[in-house]
Structure 1
């Protein structure tokens, strides 16, 4: 495994450097000698949930790929991030278990994405100091200092036998819209072109740029001469790898678990050349026994906490991404109804992005706390606020505006019915709204149960912002409300009942 260079990872010093050196030395002792003319780069991202899912690969499969590549020769492991939130266990430890497991896999760096800031700036900084590898983002700026936030590096420069490999990454601009991070400014993703040029000036022979979504920046960055490989994370679509005139462009979706493997050839004098690239489905690899055992320890802890039956669904449920972000959904309606019932409000909203299970449940499925925790992994509290009717209509317009892109801002209401015309331009799609069977009065005030996140204006819902909401607001955790709702009823039968329709 190549040694780290000094550029971009200056903070990687002291006791952290000692730990890293020990880890590298241990690997070097067991790996065979590699050709100085070849380097494999393994790239993957988005593995927040350690629970095994049929047909999907996980950390244990990734460990096998890394072990194989490292045995074959010189290898860099670049991690695209998006792994510290939205997993079941992350709800309890804010992603600390993932750092522990990644330390075993020994990434050479990890890009920071908007999802990694799901628990806020301070938690990400803590995770960065637990890691034996640098967190990289050139565009995540602390407003208090005007510099890259504490715990992050703007880039990494890594020494390898084929030359110095520079890595830079940009976070999605949606961070400040979708998450409550008032101290963070996101600079335009295209600015990492300047960081790539700076890496060249520091001696980088090959530069990899990692882009957290932000498709609007792709074309400009693909044309940047200082960038050799551009790897974009995407929430939808399929994995893509394209090579053109020695440059590489990749889109990593990782819905089913995959890794990119790039091969560079060089002699350490001239810049290395791209010799090949492949998409590797992780599910097709046998799990590494040691990593499987490590993951199993955490899964056993989860079983003690969550393998408790709380109810049964008499009807089928679908929590896949498209199902909860494009139209009425029975499970989302069940959540919204539970929220409204808990606070006895006029209405309730839950955003589809809060639902992360990406699963289907047959009628008659017995639900456990594990199921609910998996579906609702964020530690979001629910509060009751009072809002004017015009704010509710404005919120529904924002909800409808993101349907085509399957945005997590899509709202599911309770005790409301909305008719959309999605053929109309965004901002003019709400045809009608009723609350409790009566037309919405724009001047009337309604009590509404909301996730505290929405009540702080998250996901672009500034019109829902309420004085009583704050990052530390006291309230009932969403998954606790759902668990109690199911426990009280024993069996539920959520159905599509016409609360969201299209004209």
Structure 2
């Protein structure tokens, strides 16, 4: 990942950090949900070591602002609802954390429990609990941090897409501009003299259309390319992901700002944090390390593949839950596939791999749909193309011919099952609990009553693991027949 500076004049050069009398330094990152590291990812133990070294050089002058999206998804959170991540994060010197979208994966009440376990404040400014018409219990709307005589007021905003990405009843989003104005005014009344807004990349377009004149620094959580824009008003910094990089921002007494993207990949790991993490890993290592399958071809779980077309892994997941529920058809939202990996031919896939690919805790159900209702579901799946969106469905038990160039809602050309048109009055459809509650915009099946005796508590990753173990020879490399884009 490369640092990108966005400059108005290509001939400008940035002064070094030493050119600014740095009274305060802010470390910022986000999207670090895994304590079990892949070979190509840098661990949070090294991030802890990076901060420790920084604090030695600037005692009492460093703040660690965490952009969230880190309690979920990961290999352990469905066992303990994210409690282990809070324990791990408590061993990092975090000043505060933005309660971002994925922190809502298991609902508002679970987030409240995790917030009370945290040794640092979690903040979110534009969501209220409709049961109390106040901030979510345990979550602060804003917070003031002090370091080296600078009082930093911080608030955070989440994008409205959270209500379709996650099933979170009993909450409502506040008006964006009002949230900004009210939060900045409140923080200044409390004595803050430097205002930081933490948000997410998905909200950036909307933020560019509102008044940010009261904001000094905009921090954006993301898992993509990090960058710094010192010429933006306010100064804009984006950082996140397990890529071995963080943003380091320096602020002097006149509130002049310098910022760079720093690597912590070579930092010495924190021994204390390593011991904490190893204790969690040891609990499930022997079970999760069991190998289930050796790949006979390359398999991709990259979002640029699974969110726009049929994939081997998507077929596997859909086949597994259809078999588990003995359903006619199965659908899997590609946004639930999160491994972001390429498995070369000959790779050994373990339970841990499956768990990391399917980290969200979701039971599965069978519901009944008419062919017309099923078509509406599948049209919604295709409506996001050509963009790679999580609503795109991987399927089993049905063949879909469509034209992605046609208007959204009118893209399906034909639907067939076993080579025949859909002629039955209804079909049983295997779906996740997330989709059944209307997640990813599937309001057309929200709260459909599950078929009798079809309430199962096993999670998707467990179902897929057992299916793979029992049906190794059934994993098909023959793709391209379930989802056929006639425009290609």
Tell me, yes or no, if the aligned pair for 2:64 and 2:94 is still in contact at 8 Å: yes
Which of the residues 351, 355, 358 maps onto 1:376? 358
Distance in 2, matches of 1:133 and 1:405, equals: 37
Counting only pairs closer than 5 Å after superposition, residues 231-250 of structure 1 correspond to structure 2 as 231-234=219-222, 237-244=224-231, 247-250=234-237
- The question of 1:261 aligning with 2:248 is answered yes
Secondary structure, aligned partner of 2:198: strand
Answer with 454-463 or 277-286: which moved more. 277-286
Answer with 120-129 or 209-218: which moved more. 209-218
Do the aligned partners of residues 294 and 262 (structure 1) sit closer, same or farther apart at CA in structure 2, a change above 3 Å counting? same
Aligned to 1:38: 23
Which of the residues 84, 91, 95 maps onto 1:104? 91
Offset at 1:301? 1.9
- The question of 1:351 aligning with 2:333 is answered yes
Aligned to 2:198: 210
Aligned to 2:10: none
Tell me, yes or no, if the aligned pair for 2:24 and 2:252 is still in contact at 8 Å: yes
Aligned to 2:404: 422
Distance in 2, matches of 1:216 and 1:439, equals: 43
Secondary structure, aligned partner of 1:180: coil
Aligned to 1:272: 255
Deviation string 1:302-343 (CA, Å, 9 cap, x unpaired) is 313312223333222111222211111110111101111222
Deviation string 1:426-481 (CA, Å, 9 cap, x unpaired) is 3333233222322345x8311111112112211110112344359x9544321221
Distance in 2, matches of 1:500 and 1:433, equals: 10
Distance in 2, matches of 1:55 and 1:411, equals: 28
Counting only pairs closer than 5 Å after superposition, residues 470-489 of structure 1 correspond to structure 2 as 474-489=456-471
Aligned to 2:170: 183
Secondary structure, aligned partner of 1:339: helix
Do the aligned partners of residues 454 and 246 (structure 1) sit closer, same or farther apart at CA in structure 2, a change above 3 Å counting? closer
What TM-score does the superposition give when structure 2 sets the normalisation length? 0.89
Deviation string 1:24-77 (CA, Å, 9 cap, x unpaired) is xxxxxxxxxxx9961110011111111112232221121122112111111000
Do the aligned partners of residues 93 and 151 (structure 1) sit closer, same or farther apart at CA in structure 2, a change above 3 Å counting? same
Deviation string 1:226-248 (CA, Å, 9 cap, x unpaired) is 1111122235x522210127731
- The question of 1:67 aligning with 2:49 is answered no
Do the aligned partners of residues 429 and 287 (structure 1) sit closer, same or farther apart at CA in structure 2, a change above 3 Å counting? farther
- The question of 1:219 aligning with 2:204 is answered no
Offset at 1:412? 0.6
Deviation string 1:136-156 (CA, Å, 9 cap, x unpaired) is 001121011111110101001
- The question of 1:324 aligning with 2:306 is answered yes
Deviation string 1:100-146 (CA, Å, 9 cap, x unpaired) is 11111121111011100101111111100100111100112101111
Secondary structure, aligned partner of 1:66: helix
Which of the residues 23, 26, 33 maps onto 1:48? 33
Please list every run of 5 or more consecutive structure 2 residues that lacks an aligned counterpart in the other structure: 1-19
Which of the residues 434, 440, 444 maps onto 1:453? 434
How many corresponding residue pairs? 460
Secondary structure, aligned partner of 2:209: helix
Tell me, yes or no, if the aligned pair for 1:46 and 1:82 is still in contact at 8 Å: yes
Distance in 2, matches of 1:107 and 1:405, equals: 35
Aligned to 1:149: 136
Secondary structure, aligned partner of 1:220: coil
Tell me, yes or no, if the aligned pair for 2:29 and 2:240 is still in contact at 8 Å: no
Tell me, yes or no, if the aligned pair for 1:335 and 1:482 is still in contact at 8 Å: yes
Distance in 1, matches of 2:434 and 2:184, equals: 35
What TM-score does the superposition give when structure 1 sets the normalisation length? 0.86
Tell me, yes or no, if the aligned pair for 1:242 and 1:249 is still in contact at 8 Å: yes
Deviation string 1:138-178 (CA, Å, 9 cap, x unpaired) is 11210111111101010011122242101100122122212
Tell me, yes or no, if the aligned pair for 2:213 and 2:233 is still in contact at 8 Å: no
Deviation string 1:237-291 (CA, Å, 9 cap, x unpaired) is 522210127731123352634311100011xxxx5221x1011233343433332
Aligned to 1:281: 263
Counting only pairs closer than 5 Å after superposition, residues 108-147 of structure 1 correspond to structure 2 as 108-147=95-134
Q: Cα RMSD between the aligned structures? A: 2.3
Moved over 6 A (4+): none
Please list every run of 5 or more consecutive structure 1 residues that lacks an aligned counterpart in the other structure: 1-34
Do the aligned partners of residues 377 and 337 (structure 1) sit closer, same or farther apart at CA in structure 2, a change above 3 Å counting? same
Tell me, yes or no, if the aligned pair for 1:58 and 1:282 is still in contact at 8 Å: no
Tell me, yes or no, if the aligned pair for 2:315 and 2:395 is still in contact at 8 Å: yes
Distance in 1, matches of 2:267 and 2:450, equals: 47
Secondary structure, aligned partner of 1:207: strand
Secondary structure, aligned partner of 1:241: strand
Aligned to 2:72: 85
Offset at 1:81? 0.6
Counting only pairs closer than 5 Å after superposition, residues 333-344 of structure 1 correspond to structure 2 as 333-344=315-326
Answer with 337-346 or 474-483: which moved more. 474-483
Distance in 2, matches of 1:282 and 1:192, equals: 34
Aligned to 1:310: 292
Distance in 1, matches of 2:87 and 2:337, equals: 26
